[in-house]
Amino acid sequence: MQIIYIKEDKFQYDIHSLYKAFYPTSEVRVIVGEKGSNPDKEKDISPDDEISFIDVDKTKNELKKDIYLDLSKKTGKNLPWGDLTGIRPTRIAMNLFEEGKSDPEIYYYMKDTYLVSDEKIAVSIDIAKRERDILKDIDYINGYSLYIGIPFCPTTCLYCSFTSYPIGAYSSLVDDYLSCLEKEIDYVAENFADKTLDTIYIGGGTPTTLEPDQIRRLIGYLRDKVDLSKVKEFTVESGRPDSITRDKLKAMKEMGVTRISVNPQTMSDETLKLIGRRHTVAQLIDAFKMAREEGFDNINMDIILGLPGETKEDVSHTIEEIKKLDPDDLTVHCLAVKRGSKLFEVIREKELSGNLKIPMLDTMSDIEDMAVIAAKGAGDMGLKPYYLYRQKNISGNFENTGYAREGKAGIYNILINEEVQSIVALGAGTVTKRVYGTGGRIERCDNVKDVKLYMDSIQEMIERKKKLFEEE
Ligand code: SF4
């Protein structure tokens, strides 16, 4: 364990994150006060634990740089993102661009201030330029985006961290759930009539658990109530191939959906079974081809690196199979299974693992190699990186990256990632974000996660949004 004592309650999160990045498999504990002054936090310290004392009486940047240089010397490691601990490292390049800084100025700033590697600086500048270009027609102040959450899925995947209910047990609730969404849509229609709706994203869950008529009902209601004439992108996540049918694709096309996701996560049947996705690779390929036949010319695919039992060879195989389908957009996520985590335990308990090799945090370099394989594959398909974020609370600071063909990048993905525009979110477990015009101020309000509670308290959910947008 790494124990760090600080005299004042300052920069705890940053210190913790930096230590965690250097010591991904160790517990890291930051204690405020003198040694021996905090019995609760000190009771299980052992002689093997490493203890450091840090002076926090300096600026945050100075502090982080000092810690970074010290730990780098101690461990012999350099971190690609230097001492940056936030989840949006590309934001720094974006902000500097907005201030009119040149490429070399951005380079030296990121190098000197945060010790970021040349490679990551180049990616940041590249992404920032692409984002600036994609967002140039978006009015941050007078525009808004809409998110609608459908919290039902065919089955629950083992690694799921979203709001998700198995549709089998909840199908009788769906129509009432849609009625609640309609009430929220009424709120949007009444309160955002003077704003421009730029993008719509129906996510989840799996929105394609809705039947074709339910898809028509939901989008039809939205079309009737809200002006969609300026919408630049309308995405429906059709993530699970086992939920996609030709009729649903037809319904989405008919209702004006422009972009969908058909997500393999992996092209290995064995892994799909293990992670509880209950669909096959063949089903994925069929669903993708069907979507192309129905005229969808902007299809995203999500993959996950570091799935239980997968090796670099599996990732290469997944990429080669995806190349045959030639999607327009590829999102590469990282999953690290920690020893002792719920996912790890579930796999072990179910004795599904056998001799399975589970990529662990101590094989972080495997994930890095997998990310290189995926990036190269995306490049081979003509897809370029357009957004990137790092995962919070995951040691090693793995990153998720979206790649897209020219003109096919998901605008909503950039907007939510860069937090430059308000997003009004409807449905159980969704979070509405109000971005104020100036000073980077952002306020949020959430809808309750439990689907029944959401439905019972729909009026309160609407009131929360009213309050958020009425406040000065
Ligand atoms: S499809 Fe997505 S939202 Fe649904 S259970 Fe799987 S990971 Fe969760």
**Which domain-ending residue is among 60, 94, 125?**
125
CA 406/CA 389 separation, integer angstroms:
20
Distance 462 CA to ligand 1 centre (A): 26
pLDDT at 378 over 80: yes
* Band of pLDDT at residue 351, cut at 50, 70 and 90: very low
Mutation test of ligand 1: which of 150, 152, 153, 300 has the most ligand atoms closer than 8 Å to its C-beta? 153
Distance 17 CA to ligand 1 centre (A): 28
Lowest-confidence region among 156-160, 299-303, 395-399, 407-411: 395-399
| Percent of the chain residues topping a pLDDT of 70 | 92
pLDDT of residue 396: 52
pLDDT of residue 395: 44
Are 324 and 431 in a shared domain? yes
pLDDT of residue 307: 84
Are 264 and 331 in a shared domain? yes
Residue 262 domain-assigned (yes or no): yes
**Which domain-ending residue is among 125, 154, 181?**
125
Task: Count Cα neighbours of 55 within 13 Å in the Cβ-side half-sphere.
Answer: 5
Distance 323 CA to ligand 1 centre (A): 24
pLDDT of residue 337: 58
pLDDT at 397 over 90: no
Question: Which atom in ligand 1 lies closest to the alpha carbon of residue 161?
Answer: 8
Distance 157 CA to ligand 1 centre (A): 5
Q: Summarize the confidence of residues 381-409 as an average pLDDT.
A: 84
* Band of pLDDT at residue 227, cut at 50, 70 and 90: very high
Cβ-contact 260, 313 below 8 angstroms: no
Closest CA to 294 of 321, 331, 257, 265: 257
pLDDT of residue 346: 65
Are 92 and 64 in a shared domain? no
In this predicted model, which residue has the larger pLDDT, 50 or 355? 50
Mutation test of ligand 1: which of 161, 206, 300, 307 has the most ligand atoms closer than 8 Å to its C-beta? 206
Are 51 and 188 in a shared domain? no
Are 67 and 194 in a shared domain? no
Number of domains composing the chain: 3
pLDDT of residue 77: 87
Cβ-contact 2, 27 below 8 angstroms: yes
**Which domain-ending residue is among 125, 151, 186?**
125
CA 12/CA 8 separation, integer angstroms:
9
Closest CA to 134 of 71, 199, 221, 196: 199
Q: What is the Cα gyration radius of the chain?
A: 23
Question: Which atom in ligand 1 lies closest to the alpha carbon of residue 163?
Answer: 3
Q: Which two tokens stand for residue 251?
A: 């319904």
* Band of pLDDT at residue 87, cut at 50, 70 and 90: confident
Q: Summarize the confidence of residues 25-45 as an average pLDDT.
A: 84
pLDDT of residue 345: 67
CA 421/CA 412 separation, integer angstroms:
10
Are 99 and 229 in a shared domain? no
In this predicted model, which residue has the larger pLDDT, 355 or 285? 285
Lowest-confidence region among 58-62, 155-159, 353-357: 353-357
Are 16 and 96 in a shared domain? no
Question: Which atom in ligand 1 lies closest to the alpha carbon of residue 240?
Answer: 1
pLDDT at 34 over 60: yes
pLDDT at 459 over 90: yes
Question: Which atom in ligand 1 lies closest to the alpha carbon of residue 156?
Answer: 5
- Pairing type for strands 399-404 and 384-390 reads antiparallel
Instruction: Supply the range of the domain harboring residue 292.
Output: 135-458
Considering only CA atoms, which residue is closest to atom 8 of ligand 1? 160
Residue 20 domain-assigned (yes or no): yes
Helix (H) / strand (E) containing 6: strand 2-6
Domain of residue 376, CATH code = 3.80.30.20
In this predicted model, which residue has the larger pLDDT, 350 or 236? 236
Considering only CA atoms, which residue is closest to atom 6 of ligand 1? 157
Are 39 and 170 in a shared domain? no
CA 250/CA 231 separation, integer angstroms:
20
Considering only CA atoms, which residue is closest to atom 2 of ligand 1? 205
Residue 466 domain-assigned (yes or no): no
Are 244 and 305 in a shared domain? yes
CA 78 remoteness from chain centre: 25
Question: Which atom in ligand 1 lies closest to the alpha carbon of residue 276?
Answer: 6
Are 74 and 91 in a shared domain? no
Residue 471 domain-assigned (yes or no): no
Are 47 and 90 in a shared domain? no
Distance 155 CA to ligand 1 centre (A): 8
Q: Which two tokens stand for residue 310?
A: 């997968």
* Band of pLDDT at residue 339, cut at 50, 70 and 90: low
Can you tell me which residue has the tokens 């661009």? Answer: 97
* Band of pLDDT at residue 45, cut at 50, 70 and 90: confident
pLDDT at 440 over 80: no
Residue 9 domain-assigned (yes or no): yes
CA 344/CA 336 separation, integer angstroms:
10
Cβ-contact 181, 460 below 8 angstroms: no
Q: Which two tokens stand for residue 153?
A: 């899925």
SS3 of 43, please? coil
Are 196 and 309 in a shared domain? yes
In angstroms, the Cα distances linking 298 to 64, 291, 329, 358, 417 are 42, 10, 7, 34, 20
pLDDT of residue 20: 84
* Band of pLDDT at residue 361, cut at 50, 70 and 90: very low
Mutation test of ligand 1: which of 156, 208, 400 has the most ligand atoms closer than 8 Å to its C-beta? 156
Residue 218 domain-assigned (yes or no): yes
Q: Summarize the confidence of residues 90-113 as an average pLDDT.
A: 91
pLDDT of residue 173: 96
Considering only CA atoms, which residue is closest to atom 5 of ligand 1? 156
Distance 162 CA to ligand 1 centre (A): 7
Residue 387 domain-assigned (yes or no): yes
Q: List, chain by chain if needed, residues with CB within 6 Å of any ligand 1 atom.
A: 153, 156-157, 160, 162, 164, 204-206, 239-240
Q: Summarize the confidence of residues 39-55 as an average pLDDT.
A: 86
Mean pLDDT of the chain: 89
Residue 179 domain-assigned (yes or no): yes
pLDDT of residue 39: 82
CA 207/CA 236 separation, integer angstroms:
7
Q: Summarize the confidence of residues 397-424 as an average pLDDT.
A: 92
